[in-house]
Amino acid sequence: MGPTDRIDATRAALIVYDACRRALTPADPARRAAMRPVLDAWVTLIGVCRARALPIVYTTPVSRADGADVVLLPTDLSVQTGVPSLTNCIEGTPEAGFPDEIAPRPQDYVYLKRRPSAFYGTGVAELLRVLRRTVLVIGGGATNRGVETSVREAFSMDLDTVVVRDCCWGGDAAAHAYSLDTSMKMYARIRTLEQVRAMLA
pLDDT at 110 over 60: yes
The H or E element spanning position 72 is none
pLDDT confidence band for 84 (50 / 70 / 90) = confident
Decide if pLDDT at 3 tops 60. Answer: no
Residue 59: which CATH number? 3.40.50.850
Contacts (Cβ under 8 Å, ≥6 apart) of 45: 14, 137, 139, 164, 166, 167, 193, 196
127-183: per-residue pLDDT in tens?
A: 999 999 999 999 999 999 999 999 999 999 999 999 999 999 999 999 999 999 999
Q: Give the SS3 label for residue 61.
A: strand
Task: Choose among 38, 39, 94, 36: nearest CA to 62.
Answer: 94
Q: What is the pLDDT of residues 23-41, one digit of tens each?
A: 999 999 999 999 999 999 9
Which domain covers residue 48, as residue numbers? 3-200
DSSP string, 97-110: S--GGGPPPTTSEE
Lowest mean pLDDT among 14-28, 85-99, 152-166: 85-99
State the pLDDT at residue 75.
86
Total domains present in the chain:
1
Interatomic CA distance for residues 110 and 102, integer angstroms? 12
